[in-house]
Amino acid sequence: MTASLTATAPAALTGRLARPLHPAGWWLWAIGMAVAASRTTNPLLLALVLSSTCLVVAARRTDSPWARSFRLYLVLGALIVVGRVVLHVAVGFKYGDHLLVRLPTVPLPSWAAGITLGGPVALEGLLGAAYEGLRLATLIACIGAANALADPKRLLRTLPGALHDIGVAVVVSITVAPQLAESVLRVRRARRLRGERVRGLRGAGRVVLPVLQDALDRSLALAAAMDSRGYGRIAQVPARTRRGTGVLVLGGLLGTCVGLYGLLDASTPGSLSVTTLLTGLALALTGLWLGNRRLRRSTYRPDPWRAPEWAASGLGLAVVLAMLLQGQLDPSVLLAPLQPLAVPAVPLVPVAGVLLATLVAVVSPPPVPR
C-alpha cells in the first residue's frame, strides 16, 4: 500500500495522470518527421532527424511487444543504405571526378536499356547513393517510431464510424495472428507434457489440427464478444446519403494521397501540394462525419485528446513548416553538394525545427508500465 501511494505521488503533485499519449498524436508527429526527411538529401539534416527519432523512442516507448520492433526498422534502414550503395556500384549511373576504383565493365544487350555492369566508381556517385539510401532509411525509421510508440489496438479503436468495417477486419487480423502463434506454443507444450517426442513432418501434422481448432474457437469467441458489444449495428440511411458519403471519402483520400505525394516530391510546388492536401482532408472529414451517422456505437473510456496531443501534432507540423520555409529561402542547402563535392551546409531553420520536434519527448506523458 505504501509503495503504491509513493508511486502515484509524483503524478498527484504534478497534476499529470499516468496515461499514454493518444496513438494518433504519435502518428502525426512521426509523419511530420518523415515528410521533413523526404524534403532533403543533406546528410547532416537526415542524421539529425534520425537521431531525434531514436531519442524520442528511447525516452517514451513502453515494454510492449510492438515497442521492441524499432530495432528491426533500424536494421532494415542500414540494409537499405548498404543495398543502395551496392546497386550503384553494380549497375548505377556513374558520375564524378574523384575516381575511387575502376571495375571491369560488362555491357548488357540493347533490350536492357543500355545498362552496364561495373565500370569506374567515383566518390561523388558513391556518396549520392549513400545519401539517397540514408533518406529512405530515415523515412522507415520515422514510421517505425510511430509503430513502436503507438498502440495499434488503441489506434484502431479511434477510427471513425465510416471506417467501421475496415477497422473490424484489421482488429480481427491483428488479433488472430498472435493468438495463432500462442496456440502453436500451447499445443507443443501440451504434447511435450504428454511425452510425445515426434518431430519433423509427422509432428507438424499432429500439431496443425489442434492449432486450427484452437484458433477457430478463439475466433468464434472473439466474434461472439464483438456481437455482444454491438459491433455491426447500423442505422437506416438513404441510399443517396451512402453514395455521397462514399464519393466524399474516396475523393478526399485521393486528394490527400496526391497532396502527400506532392509534399514528398521536392520538385512539386509546396503551395499546390498543401492546397491539394487540405482540400482532400476537408472532403474526407466531411464524408467521415456523414458516415458516422449510420453507425451507432459507444466507446468504453475513450482516449482523451488534450494538450500533450496537440503539442505532439504541432511539433510534427513545425518541422515540416521549417523545411518548407527553408525551401523558399534557399533550397540548395537542403541538397547534398556533390557536383562540385563540398561539405554539406548546416541550415539553421531546419535544424531548429528538428530540435523543436524533439521536445515531444518532454511534453508527452511518461510511458505507463505494463
- Condensed to tens digits (0 to 9), the pLDDT of residues 22-36 reads 888 999 999 999 999
User: Which helix (DSSP H) or strand (DSSP E) does residue 117 occupy?
Assistant: strand 116-117
State residue 195's pLDDT score: 75
Residue 15 has pLDDT above 50, yes or no: no
Domain ranges of the chain: 19-160+306-370, 164-228, 235-294
State residue 232's pLDDT score: 56
Rounded distance between C-alpha atoms, residue 11 and residue 367, angstroms: 12
State which amino acid sits at residue 222.
Answer: L
What average pLDDT does the segment 269-289 reach? 82
State residue 351's pLDDT score: 95
Which range among 82-91, 164-173, 178-187 has the greatest average pLDDT?
A: 82-91
State which amino acid sits at residue 190.
Answer: A
Residue 116 φ/ψ, nearest 5 degrees? -120, 130
What average pLDDT does the segment 51-59 reach? 94
